Amino acid sequence: MATTLTLPAPAKLNLFLFINGRRQDGYHELQTLFQFVDFADQLHFTARSDDAICLLTEFDGVPAESNLIVKAARLLREKTGCQKGVDIRVDKRLPMGGGLGGGSSNAATTLVGLNRLWQTGVDIDTLAQWGLTLGADVPIFVRGKAAYAEGVGEIFTDAAPPEPWYLVVVPPVAVNTGLVFQADDLKRDTPKRPITSIKAADWANDCEATVFKHYSVIEKVFSWLVEYAPARMTGTGCCVFAEFNSHVAAVATQALLPPQWQSFVAKGVNRSPLHERLAVCD
């Protein structure tokens, strides 16, 4: 009988995002704080008797060969010399292009999950290093701990921010991250400071003004949400989140949302649901 391993690929939020400048290579120096939420895609990995890597779930506009899930599986085989195969099925809940890290989280869960299923025995730090070649956010999901990030997002410091409830609203628009970081009006001059000294009262997102200028519906969502609770945009958008002290308060505000806006309520967690699940499997 085939062996199947089912693991979550959780969303992340950028609790703040400061841009300190643009480097000569075009990348941006930034400071941010990543936290996970208990809202996730579910990935199902089923061992095959041959060496084929088969993604059984279709993603609109993303050929399987270009999907980070397939790329992560092939990367792990290439690095380890493993010759095993897998069928992968995805229960997709995270919106694509929402700033929640869905693609990166899928890739990280694939690396971590197949490392377990194929028994390749690679340590987490090495998996995170390999994951960086797939995307800047992949290592945070591989590591599975809330963390400050600096540099271009590759220098981590473990963090333990409060774990409130969030109402996350998904505006009906996809933000082009590349265009945001290329925009002339992007704020790039926030002074760098010791990252652990940045207080919650100072948390903000330097991308918001540029994104709001080009995507008015995101500004509209933000303006609505901030009337009820402290709110920010995550990453380069499109998702906007507000934090609440209780599940009841978050759900009550969700009930007031205009019906055309998608949303979900989730708990902030400092240990990834992926690693919580793996601990149960041990």
Residue 128 near residue 142 (C-beta atoms within 8 A):
yes
Nearest to 85 by CA among 116, 54, 131, 124: 54
Q: Which of 38, 41, 137, 206 is catalytic?
A: 137
Respond yes or no: is residue 213 known to be catalytic: no
Respond yes or no: is residue 12 known to be catalytic: yes
Q: Which of 12, 38, 84, 206 is catalytic?
A: 12
What are the residue numbers of the active site? 12, 137
